[in-house]
Structure 1
């Protein structure tokens, strides 16, 4: 889990929660603040939108792409909604 561009208190809050996490989970939580270079060590820039220092186009274009993809599969999502676990 990586947090970027978050307020400064996010790190403080996460440090409190890390005490209750096992070592493996705590080692997977990162706070980058506004330091995109440290984020790019975990997530390569070539798969991120430009707004996050990446090279994969504008975020608004990616949002529109996925909206179209979801709408193309609308019938599947509506059908899938019928199947739920019984309580």
Structure 2
């Protein structure tokens, strides 16, 4: 079982290292789509685009556009 934990921690470390840096175009695009919204439920009804992934959009809405890129990628890191 310790080998599985070591592999899991190594994978987490690689994901965190890979998530550093500026946002990519699709990530910025998601934030731009969220900008005019005033509540979370509008994610389901006002954004009609294939770049709108509900769970990720909700997370980005809650974290906010001013958060660090690493925090904005937190959901992807955790679910990766």
TM range (shorter): under 0.3
Bigger-Rg structure (1/2): 1
The structure with higher relative contact order (CA 8 Å, sep 6+) is: 2
Tell me the TM-score normalised to structure 2 length.
Answer: 0.28
Return the structure number with greater helix share: 2
Return the structure number with greater strand share: 1
